Structure formats: structure tokens, C-alpha cells
Amino acid sequence: MIERFSEIIGENELDSIFKIAEKLKGLSILHVNSTPAGGGVAEILSKLVPLMRELGINTDWKIIRGDPEFFKVTKSFHNSLQNGLGELPQGSFEIYRKWQEINGNELDLDYDVVFIHDPQPAGLITFRKKGKWIWRCHIDISNPYQPVWNFLREYIQKYDSVIISSAVFARDDLKNPQFIIPPSIDPLSIKNRDIPEITVKRILYKFDLDPGRPIISQVSRFDRAKDPLGVIRTYKLVKKHADVQLAYVGSPASDDPEGEIVYRETVQAAGDDKDIKLLMLPPNSDLEINAFQRGSTVVMQKSIREGFGLTVSEALWKKKAVIGGNTGGIPLQIIHGVNGYLVNTPEEAAHYALYLIRQKDIREKFGKAGREHVRRNFLITRELRDYLMVATLALGA
């Protein structure tokens, strides 16, 4: 399977991956996170783990378990680390410790290299028996709520190293080595590979969207960090000047108890406008997501906090001009005025969306630049190589 990437990245890049992997053959690697589907982490691991296995590395992926109370706590941690505000359920730290102990006693963690993804399972380091442990943080920790950060830092400092997505997330108060590995997309997946235009139109029609009129879309969870109300506001401003439609496409995730609440808030903000489609699709609706992004005139990711935002690279790969929030990992992907626009407010987003709707030549120019930017920087093969490098360095192989 991995050879199929050679047409996109070239033989030399592929050879470098095989050479690094050779040093890890026969060793075991474990990835641990909190959900098997929904969100970027699960998306990446579903591609990364099979590729590691194909390279001859014994690689497993395990999911921690928890009750709704635990995931309510970890969602509050997630929010407070990204927005710097503290609204924690009572007894949060005790609940967190309890589930680390449950998972630590249930999961086999006896591997040569263990990658722990995000804060939810970070406390498992307490149950290390052997091997090198690496904490992979996918969210923005540059301005955390200090009590939560101080609590988690006691665990994180026990890791051999830390991986972050952007240099701006680096922490001065960690002594561990910190590596920068931006996330990535799989260009050969159902979500990202080329599909016929007739398929795109069929899916748009299925969800009552008119391919003959401009479509603005945002694909992301119903999460306040993704600013769904800001997206609605942007659409309504554009609607005053153009006959546009909006598709906000999300999916539920087992570790996100706020999703349903935010969805209801968004429904209320949308009102009875029949040109707004708020869709809660099942996880792994990859073909539908592909069609929505390809069928859109403008793609948005108007986050106000964002670790990376894989949907930006997904849309850029499909040669779409993207408008993104000027936050977190989005500026790594959107080069303002080259392949899209970075914005801070719904008013800015509406201004650029209307401009792009009216300027087809600019959309096409941005689209070409965006695809090449992703090809060079944000494909799964580059992330695979980076993980192998970090594992090699950790083991001294």
C-alpha cells in the first residue's frame, strides 16, 4: 500500500521512510488515545498505524475507556487548556486519577515505544513498566488555564519527550525535549481521493443542496472552539449580497459530551433559513465529506481555538480556497493571500467569502497553490517519517 504514495511524493522520499523504518523492525510501538472515531486524532491513527505495520513494525492502537463523568472532565480540561479559562466539574482531578488507574490496570502497556495522545490518557505514564514514552499533544497549549496545566504537567514531565503540532505551542516550563510534528492527511483515503463530479452532485442533491448555486461549507465538530455561531453569522452577512447556501457538517464523538448542546445552540442561531444545512453525520462519512468539500465554492474553518484543523488541509488538497481562523495550527496551512485567507471575525470572513465567490480566477489560483502546499508539508507520509524519527531518537537506534 505504501508504494502507492510514490506517484505523489516521489521515490526518494519513500526510500527515506523505508531506511528509517529498518532501524525499528522487530520493535513494538503502541498508540493510545480516547476515541476510535470522530476528530483528527482518530483519523490520523487509522492511517498511521496500518502504515507502521506495513513497514514491519509491531504497532498497536488502544483506546482508553471512561464514563460520561470522566469525559465531561476531560472535555473541560481540553477547553481550559485552549482558552485559558477554568470551568471544571467538581472533583475533576480525583475523577481523572480514578480512570487513569482503571485504564492503567486494564491495558497492556508493555511496549518498546508508547505514544500517548492528548490529555485524556496522559496519566497512564504512572503505569509505565518499560520502554520510551512520548506524549503527543494535538491541541493548543500556549495559553492554558494554569491549575489544569499544573496538574497535567506533573504527568507530562515524566515522559521522555513531547510532540506538539506547531512551534507556537512550545512550553518553557517543560524540561522534556519537544518535537514539532504537524498533523497530516491521507491523499489516497476515501475522504481525499478524486471522485467523479457526478458523485459530488449526487451527494449534494441528497442533502438538499443545489450544486448550481454557491456553497459555503465548514466540516467540523459542533464545538464552540470551531465557532459554529460565527459561521452562521458569516453566512448571514454574505447572504445579504449573494444567493449562497451554507453546509455545516459535523459528526458525534464519544469523548465530546458537549457536541449535542452546541448543535442545539447552532440550530437556534440558524433559525428557519432553508439554505442552512446543519448536518450531524455518522463518523466515517468519508465519501460525503469529500463531496461536500469538492462541491463547495468556499470552504471555511473559522475556529477561534484550534490545534491544527485537518479539514483545512483536506480542502486545500482538493484545490479549494479556504478561509480559516487565525489561530493555532491553521496559519501553518493557510498562507494569507496565497492559498486562502486568515480571519479573526465573522465580518472579515464574510468579506473574503463574498470576494472569493465573485472571483473564480482567484479561487482557482489559490486552489493550485493550496494543493502544492499540502503535498509538500501535510501528507501522511511526512508525518509517518517524523514519528519514525522520534521513535528512533528516543530509542537511540
Spell out a b/e string for 273-287, using b for 16 or more CB atoms within 10 Å of the CB, else e: eebbbbbebebbbee
Query: For residues 237 and 133, what is the distance between their CA atoms, to the nearest angstrom?
Result: 48
| pLDDT recorded at residue 284 | 82
| pLDDT recorded at residue 175 | 94
| pLDDT recorded at residue 83 | 84
pLDDT tens for the chain, 397 residues long, are 899 999 999 999 999 999 999 999 999 999 999 999 877 899 899 999 999 999 999 999 999 999 999 999 999 999 999 888 888 999 999 999 999 999 999 999 999 999 999 999 999 999 999 999 999 999 999 999 999 999 999 999 999 999 999 999 999 999 999 999 999 999 999 999 999 999 999 999 999 999 999 999 999 989 999 999 999 999 999 999 999 999 999 987 666 778 889 999 999 999 999 999 999 998 789 999 999 999 999 999 999 989 899 999 999 999 999 999 999 999 999 999 999 999 999 999 999 999 999 999 999 999 999 999 999 999 999 999 999 999 999 998 7
| pLDDT recorded at residue 1 | 82
Cα dihedral value 236, 270, 41, 164, nearest 10: 50
Please name each of the domains of the chain with its CATH number. Answer: 2-184+379-395 (3.40.50.2000), 197-377 (3.40.50.2000)
Task: State the cell numbers at 256.
Answer: 465530546
Bridge partners of 32, per DSSP, are: 62, 116
3-class SS at 86? coil
Q: Which of 168, 192, 174, 260 lies closest to 44 in space, CA to CA?
A: 192
Q: Which of 161, 158, 93, 160 lies closest to 126 in space, CA to CA?
A: 158
| pLDDT recorded at residue 40 | 84
User: E strands, the chain, where?
Assistant: 28-33, 58-63, 113-117, 132-136, 161-164, 178-180, 215-219, 245-250, 276-280, 298-301, 322-325, 340-343
Q: Which of 162, 159, 206, 154 lies closest to 181 in space, CA to CA?
A: 162
Task: Evaluate whether 270 touches 245 at the Cβ level (below 8 Å).
Answer: no
Bridge partners of 247, per DSSP, are: 217, 277
| pLDDT recorded at residue 85 | 86
| pLDDT recorded at residue 317 | 98
3-class SS at 379? strand
What are the angstrom distances between the C-alpha of 32 and each of 59, 82, 135, 173, 385? 11, 21, 10, 24, 19
**Cα angle vertex 393, ends 389, 395, to 5°?**
120
3-class SS at 112? coil
| pLDDT recorded at residue 254 | 66
Task: Evaluate whether 51 touches 384 at the Cβ level (below 8 Å).
Answer: yes
Query: For residues 385 and 263, what is the distance between their CA atoms, to the nearest angstrom?
Result: 37
Task: Evaluate whether 221 touches 253 at the Cβ level (below 8 Å).
Answer: yes
Query: For residues 77 and 87, what is the distance between their CA atoms, to the nearest angstrom?
Result: 9
HSE value, Cβ hemisphere, 13 Å, CA-based, for 116:
29
Task: Evaluate whether 65 touches 37 at the Cβ level (below 8 Å).
Answer: no
Cα dihedral value 291, 292, 298, 301, nearest 10: -120
| pLDDT recorded at residue 255 | 66
Bridge partners of 298, per DSSP, are: 216
Which residue is associated with the grid cell 449573494? 242
| pLDDT recorded at residue 289 | 96
